[in-house]
Amino acid sequence: MSELLGVAVLGAGHMGADHIRRLDRVVSGARVVAVADPDPERARRAVAGIDGVAVRAEVWDALAAPGVEAVLIASPGPAHEEALLAAFERGLPVLCEKPMVPDPAGALRVVEAEARLGRRLAQIGFMRRYDAEYRQLKSLLDEGGLGRPLMLHCVHRNVSSPPGFTSAMLIDSSVSHEIDAARWLLGQELTAVTVLRPRPSAGAPEGLLDPQFVLFETDGGALVDVEVFVNCGFGYQVRCEAVCETGSARIGEEQAVRVTARAADRRAVPQDYLVRFADAYDREVQAWVDATRRGRVTGPSAWDGYAASVVAGAGVRALETGGRVAVDLPRRPALYG
Amino acid sequence: MSELLGVAVLGAGHMGADHIRRLDRVVSGARVVAVADPDPERARRAVAGIDGVAVRAEVWDALAAPGVEAVLIASPGPAHEEALLAAFERGLPVLCEKPMVPDPAGALRVVEAEARLGRRLAQIGFMRRYDAEYRQLKSLLDEGGLGRPLMLHCVHRNVSSPPGFTSAMLIDSSVSHEIDAARWLLGQELTAVTVLRPRPSAGAPEGLLDPQFVLFETDGGALVDVEVFVNCGFGYQVRCEAVCETGSARIGEEQAVRVTARAADRRAVPQDYLVRFADAYDREVQAWVDATRRGRVTGPSAWDGYAASVVAGAGVRALETGGRVAVDLPRRPALYG
Amino acid sequence: MSELLGVAVLGAGHMGADHIRRLDRVVSGARVVAVADPDPERARRAVAGIDGVAVRAEVWDALAAPGVEAVLIASPGPAHEEALLAAFERGLPVLCEKPMVPDPAGALRVVEAEARLGRRLAQIGFMRRYDAEYRQLKSLLDEGGLGRPLMLHCVHRNVSSPPGFTSAMLIDSSVSHEIDAARWLLGQELTAVTVLRPRPSAGAPEGLLDPQFVLFETDGGALVDVEVFVNCGFGYQVRCEAVCETGSARIGEEQAVRVTARAADRRAVPQDYLVRFADAYDREVQAWVDATRRGRVTGPSAWDGYAASVVAGAGVRALETGGRVAVDLPRRPALYG
Amino acid sequence: MSELLGVAVLGAGHMGADHIRRLDRVVSGARVVAVADPDPERARRAVAGIDGVAVRAEVWDALAAPGVEAVLIASPGPAHEEALLAAFERGLPVLCEKPMVPDPAGALRVVEAEARLGRRLAQIGFMRRYDAEYRQLKSLLDEGGLGRPLMLHCVHRNVSSPPGFTSAMLIDSSVSHEIDAARWLLGQELTAVTVLRPRPSAGAPEGLLDPQFVLFETDGGALVDVEVFVNCGFGYQVRCEAVCETGSARIGEEQAVRVTARAADRRAVPQDYLVRFADAYDREVQAWVDATRRGRVTGPSAWDGYAASVVAGAGVRALETGGRVAVDLPRRPALYG
């Protein structure tokens, strides 16, 4: 193949700018042909040095720019629904950053719109599915050599939370990654959620319930527990242990140079998810470009995005009520069989 | 010091015989002078090759044997209450294997009897407090450099459960170790317990709820979660991670030769707690002998044994009811301040 | 940037085919426009599915194909000198797989030819310089926080050697990677070499001196030791420990899922250098494409390729003589300052 | 058994005092009955709190004290020959700290004296043979599952060297441990030695050749390399990797709490050999007491002590000459078969 896939990127903020760089310099087979951002100055900075990119303020104008064959949505979550529906209307394949649509009702509208089309157009940006370690863990579980998975023990830690981060966001922003990862690793739906609230850390901003300990039950009888701690202070850590009937498998000990000095043996801990998951993002976008150039849609679906929204919503209610909240998921449309 | 402490060992089964060997050949400063076991043949086998040991069928007869200055109780749990009260009556210092008394009411009677004496005579055999790694973890937490502990994540796995092991015993026999360790590490009381029951492993005997996931709340606002899995098939594993405000500390990765062969890098996992905690048992008994020879009583107290019984009892009810059960602990007598 | 760099790939064997795939599907900013291989059928297979590639039997014909702007040499070592000189003649930037030229005299001719041009055109394929761990180690050493490096302990193991692999090839094919890595990490030249020959492993083919233990001295007073063992049977392992004045840093423990099962804690060991260094190859070629599109030449130079040839040659003589052989390197041309 | 073995300890310095404490409070079955030290005040301090110990200035007087049944030699190396011969003369079993006798000629006299007695009385204090990890490594090698050992890669690092430590002492004091360990692990004699001298670390005292890299050849065709670095600054580290025909086994990564804080994952490195090998010393002395009480002599023999002296002496000459020095060991007397 030689023709490069023309991509419109929606959103030129932190994540969008990183995806523009990735499409231009890392990924093979694509080029950025249009960018939409309400702040045209920011959009221009993000595409500096790339020739022939249409810079637009509006989503629709960017999608209509010459050469647009696919869309990468990296705008804030609340803007996703409109952008996805617009892409569907033009029949454009789309890679949409998570959360697909923060509001479960809106997420359902996206699923229904795609189901009406009768073919998949959307891939949702759950990049952990493209991380080398997660993929090895998934393979191990699928091969079945360790027996049925009984429990997943997960840890999700950030150095510190950004301003405005709320107690609910520990679940619907941070834990949403584990929600998708657990559904994918286990091949099971999550059916109930309970949130425990230890006394908050002194390192957490006033009023933020941090850390939290989240428990999911699944329709296969497995248990998923997640420690989420977004002001741990020391690093970005994502770990997962799958406890199976005849063995356990663990991922998430970041590889790094091992330094022995000053009375200790040390390995650096990454400070940022863009560092920890750099390769996963690269593989995710490359896989999307490759599939799209072949006319295919693979990877996490709009249904996965919707399910994550519903489970996260139940999690937030569990946090608020202190009790166990059942997850109520409608029947999965045939398209996502 | 040169005089050896004369010890009566009650119970000559698996654990008792191991303690007799330990007092005779490992520990400095003690000698076995009497053994009691309903099966005198078993008692005689356990002391073969040791000179001058009085072998008796009854506890009272053993305690009255010449030279008895201290008592080590290694009989089955239901026999402990009577043995402890007998030792108290003779004013003998005692090391009592766990569980101190399986029944909380009986455990309370022991506490009250000792409180009436007005001085401590009993040390309870929570040997993890003597494990090198646990002690390092305890020191780390006490030093405070990592801030306040927020959560303990614990794992407790056995290769397989012995015949007759019940679902309740996962809590009152296995998790009772974590109950004591958590109280000791945190210096906090456990105030409530919830037990989650994933679908049992195919490797568990019919009807046994194995694994279980147990959640404790503490009066300091911390959370303690314990995976207990007594038919994991692959080894004996005890891990603990203390998640604190500015860092986490982990123990329980057993040290062993690292072998790289046949496409993998391997470390052996011990198969038995007597292997994993061999040094802890040695240190525990040595510490007891040393203190006793100096006329002191240190280590876990009868109150610790009682508290573990009460919490474990609440855990068993939580397992049966599926809900959260509050722990109701009376006021701690001044003796155990 | 949007114009794709047109690359001619010389050699369509195992390595060449892998680079063709990489340029087509992994790396951003390049396309394969010509391939040369004496076996045109093999060349055609290697470019199947890629449009517009000129397939040629001869190097010169491939270099003259339309759109060729740069050359990637992946033919057998003995063919490199002619190919490099041909690329120089056409002024084409070139990425040449290692060994640059196996014969030190031929390697020197390449250096002299490039020096006559007065500008660098060649980058040599020492891909370890692009491995994430090696780069972190290099940064650590350059930052100087551990003091001056005193020793490098290196291990280089292969599952098994290919047919026809000779005792000399343990040095000039395998250890040549450590030769370049040591020069690069330390920023020092290697000045003498001694080879020790333990009794060969029963797993080595008859007559092959495997393993060997190679010692290099440097002009900075450091010592570099390399265990090379090409029939170790269990995996592909490349480790390096830099022992410095105030600490040591180690790389080469491959990250992988950690599985605890069947009485052991296991991590898989990769079986192949294409697995271990997959990312390094990708980064190497991407870095070369990026630099070339900007009109620059970076990375390991022809001088580095030449130095490796000279040191490896001395190593082979040391192996044959059993003694210490001094390395005789001419003055470095100004171009490679 | 109940009678305690009466031990005379010769030397009440750092090591002697530690052994006195060990015999009194750690080891089962022994008691200290006499101590000899030229400084009687130091001797008295070392036995404070122990009843009935004869304190003497002279070795002979201590050996003649009432109740002496065995001797532990912890005086400086140059005093060992006389002490060993005195113990032999009285027919007393003896545990002698390493080096047995620093001077090979003196060491040979001890071997010959014991051979004349026709029975072993001496155990030499190579405590690594009692370290849990070394023992596991030895078992692994003896079981043969990894094939024949081809190479041992050893590392021996100290935080800093004591005053007066010479370049030769890196070999005859520090590396002498690896000399014994290699002979024992491999069951082979060392036949030649070469010492390489990288440029000394800035952290080494003026004039001290530190680090050194020592290479031993064995009569079984194996190779043993040892990095010895006694001013590494960061900790006490002893590592050993046995590279065998079908796999490698490694020991020496000290187990410790793993702390994740301040952007790194850390394990403490011990600062002192008494910490790293605390358990090995305890097991060594316990094994000696147990064997002695049963009238047996086990463990490293005077021949092992002598062989270590001879190899270390060759090592020192290799250090001085810069070349390879063959080891000339006489025939092993039948007693040490």
* Closest Cβ–Cβ partner in D233, D264, D271 for A267: D264
- The residue in chain D having the minimum alpha-carbon distance to the alpha carbon of residue B252 is D257
- Enumerate chain C positions whose Cβ falls within 8 A of a Cβ in A: 1-2, 4, 24-29, 31, 49-52, 133, 136-137, 140, 145-146, 246-251, 253-262, 279, 286, 290
Q: Which of A24, A58, A57 is nearest to A40 (CA)?
A: A57
Residues from chain C that touch B268, judged by Cβ atoms under 8 A, are: 263-265
CA distance B100 to chain A (A): 30
CB-based burial, D262-297: b 16+ in 10 Å, e otherwise = eebbbbbbbeebeebbbbbbbbbbbbbbbbbbeeeb
Interface B–C counts its CB contacts (< 8 A) at 48
Assess whether pLDDT exceeds 80 at residue D51.
yes
- Enumerate chain C positions whose Cβ falls within 8 A of a Cβ in B: 233-235, 237, 253, 260-269, 271
Residues from chain A that touch D253, judged by Cβ atoms under 8 A, are: 265
- Write down the architecture of domain B5-128+279-300 according to CATH: 3-Layer(aba) Sandwich (3.40)
- How much is the ipTM here? 0.91
pLDDT in tens, C57-75: 999 999 999 999 999 999 9
DSSP 8-state code for residue A172: I
The pLDDT assigned to B209 comes to: 97
B112: CB partners within 8 A, 6+ apart: B333
Contact B296, B159 (CB under 8 A): no
Interface A–B counts its CB contacts (< 8 A) at 91
The pLDDT assigned to A1 comes to: 43
The pLDDT assigned to D255 comes to: 65
D149: CB partners within 8 A, 6+ apart: D141, D185, D186, D222, D242, D243, D244
SS3 C115: helix
Contact C34, C62 (CB under 8 A): yes
CA distance D329 to chain A (A): 39
* Closest Cβ–Cβ partner in A260, A261, A269 for D265: A269
Report CA Rg, chain D: 20
Contact A158, A174 (CB under 8 A): yes
Contact A141, A186 (CB under 8 A): yes
* Cα–Cα distance, D198 to D213 (Å, whole number): 8
User: What is the mean predicted confidence (pLDDT) over D212-230?
Assistant: 97
Contact C37, C12 (CB under 8 A): yes
Report CA Rg, chain B: 20
Q: Please work out, in degrees rounded to the nearest 5, the angle formed at the alpha carbon of residue C192 by the alpha carbons of C189 and C198.
A: 125
Bridge partner list, D214: D195, D226
Say whether B269 and C265 touch across the interface (CB within 8 A): yes
- Write down the architecture of domain C132-272 according to CATH: 2-Layer Sandwich (3.30)
- Enumerate chain D positions whose Cβ falls within 8 A of a Cβ in C: 147-148, 150-151, 153, 155, 196, 198-199, 201-203, 211, 213, 215, 217, 220-223, 225, 227, 229, 232-234, 243, 245-248
pLDDT in tens, C305-319: 999 999 999 999 999
Question: What dotted CATH number matches D129-275+308-336?
Answer: 3.30.360.10
CA-to-CA dists, residue D279 to B22, C336, D183, D249, D275, angstroms: 16, 56, 22, 21, 8
User: What is the mean predicted confidence (pLDDT) over C221-234?
Assistant: 96
SS3 C280: helix
pLDDT in tens, C174-190: 999 999 999 999 999 99
Phi first, then psi: give them for residue B56, nearest 5 degrees.
Answer: -130, 155
* Closest Cβ–Cβ partner in C235, C262, C265 for B263: C235
With respect to CATH, is domain A5-128+279-301 assigned 3.30.70.1400? no
* Closest Cβ–Cβ partner in D253, D263, D266 for A264: D266
In chain B, CATH 3.30.360.10 sits at 129-272+308-336
Please give the torsion angle defined by the CA atoms of residues D187, D193, D199 and D204, in that order, rounded to the nearest 10 degrees: 60
DSSP characters over B65-85: STT--EEEE-S-GGGHHHHHH
* Closest Cβ–Cβ partner in D260, D268, D271 for A234: D260
Residues from chain B that touch C268, judged by Cβ atoms under 8 A, are: 263-265
pLDDT band at D200 (very low <50, low <70, confident <90, very high): very high
D291: left (phi over 0), alpha (psi -120 to 50) or beta: alpha
Assess whether pLDDT exceeds 80 at residue D1.
no
Mean pLDDT of chain C: 94
CA distance C269 to chain B (A): 5
Sheet containing B122-125: order of strands = B54-56, B30-36, B5-10, B70-73, B94-97, B122-125
Phi first, then psi: give them for residue B190, nearest 5 degrees.
Answer: -90, 130
CA distance C153 to chain B (A): 18
Please give the torsion angle defined by the CA atoms of residues D8, D13, D18 and D22, in that order, rounded to the nearest 10 degrees: 10
Say whether A229 and B150 touch across the interface (CB within 8 A): yes
User: Peptide bond preceding A211: is omega within 30 degrees of 0, i.e. cis?
Assistant: yes
* Closest Cβ–Cβ partner in C246, C256, C258 for A261: C246
* Cα–Cα distance, A232 to A269 (Å, whole number): 12
Take residue B322 and report the two structure tokens written for it. 């599926």
Q: Which of C89, C105, C90, C7 is nearest to C328 (CA)?
A: C105
CA distance A195 to chain D (A): 25
CA distance D305 to chain C (A): 26
SS3 B226: strand
* Closest Cβ–Cβ partner in A147, A153, A201 for B245: A201
Measured in Å, how far apart are chain D's first and last C-alpha atoms? 31
Residue C160's Cβ-count burial label (10 Å; 0-12, 13-18, 19+) is middle
Find tokens 């506890």 and name the residue.
B59
In chain D, CATH 3.30.360.10 sits at 129-275+308-336
pLDDT in tens, D291-310: 999 999 999 999 999 999 99
In chain D, CATH 3.40.50.720 sits at 5-127+279-300
The pLDDT assigned to D276 comes to: 84
Phi first, then psi: give them for residue C249, nearest 5 degrees.
Answer: -130, 135
Which carries the bigger pLDDT value, residue C200 or residue D271?
Answer: C200
| H-helix or E-strand spanning residue B303 | helix B302-321
Helices (H), C2-97: 14-25, 40-46, 59-63, 80-90
Q: What class does CATH assign to D5-127+279-300?
A: alpha beta
* Cα–Cα distance, A80 to A74 (Å, whole number): 8
Quick one: fold of B129-272+308-336? Dihydrodipicolinate Reductase; domain 2 (3.30.360)
* Closest Cβ–Cβ partner in C233, C265, C271 for B266: C265
Residues from chain D that touch A158, judged by Cβ atoms under 8 A, are: none
Bridge partner list, C102: none
Looking at residue C127, its amino acid is M
pTM (two decimals): 0.92
Residues from chain B that touch D279, judged by Cβ atoms under 8 A, are: 279
Say whether A264 and D268 touch across the interface (CB within 8 A): yes
* Cα–Cα distance, A146 to A165 (Å, whole number): 39
Say whether D148 and C211 touch across the interface (CB within 8 A): no
Phi first, then psi: give them for residue B155, nearest 5 degrees.
Answer: -130, 135
Residues from chain C that touch B266, judged by Cβ atoms under 8 A, are: 264-266
Mean pLDDT of chain D: 94
CA distance C325 to chain D (A): 14
Residue ranges of chain B whose pLDDT lies below 70: 1-2, 254-255
* Closest Cβ–Cβ partner in C235, C260, C271 for B234: C260
* Closest Cβ–Cβ partner in D1, D24, D254 for B51: D1
In chain C, CATH 3.30.360.10 sits at 132-272
Say whether D229 and C201 touch across the interface (CB within 8 A): no
Helices (H), chain A: 14-25, 40-46, 59-63, 80-89, 104-117, 132-143, 167-169, 176-186, 273-276, 278-293, 302-321
Residues from chain A that touch C51, judged by Cβ atoms under 8 A, are: 1-2
| H-helix or E-strand spanning residue A55 | strand A54-56
Quick one: fold of A133-270+321-336? Dihydrodipicolinate Reductase; domain 2 (3.30.360)
Residue B209's Cβ-count burial label (10 Å; 0-12, 13-18, 19+) is middle
Which chains would you list as touching A if contact means 3+ CB atom pairs under 8 Å? B, C, D
DSSP 8-state code for residue B117: H
pLDDT in tens, chain A (337 residues): 448 999 999 999 999 999 999 999 999 999 999 999 999 999 999 999 999 999 999 999 999 999 999 999 999 999 999 999 999 999 999 999 999 999 999 999 999 999 999 999 999 999 999 999 999 999 999 999 999 999 999 999 999 999 999 999 999 999 999 999 999 999 999 999 999 999 999 999 999 999 999 999 999 999 999 999 999 998 999 999 999 999 999 998 766 778 888 888 888 888 888 788 889 999 999 999 999 999 999 999 999 999 999 999 999 999 999 999 999 999 999 999 8
In chain A, CATH 3.40.50.720 sits at 5-128+279-301
The pairing of strands A324-326 and A190-196 is: antiparallel
Interface test with B, best of A227, A234, A267 (most B CBs within 10 A): A227
Interface C–D counts its CB contacts (< 8 A) at 92
Say whether C235 and B260 touch across the interface (CB within 8 A): yes
- The residue in chain C having the minimum alpha-carbon distance to the alpha carbon of residue A256 is C133
The pLDDT assigned to A255 comes to: 65
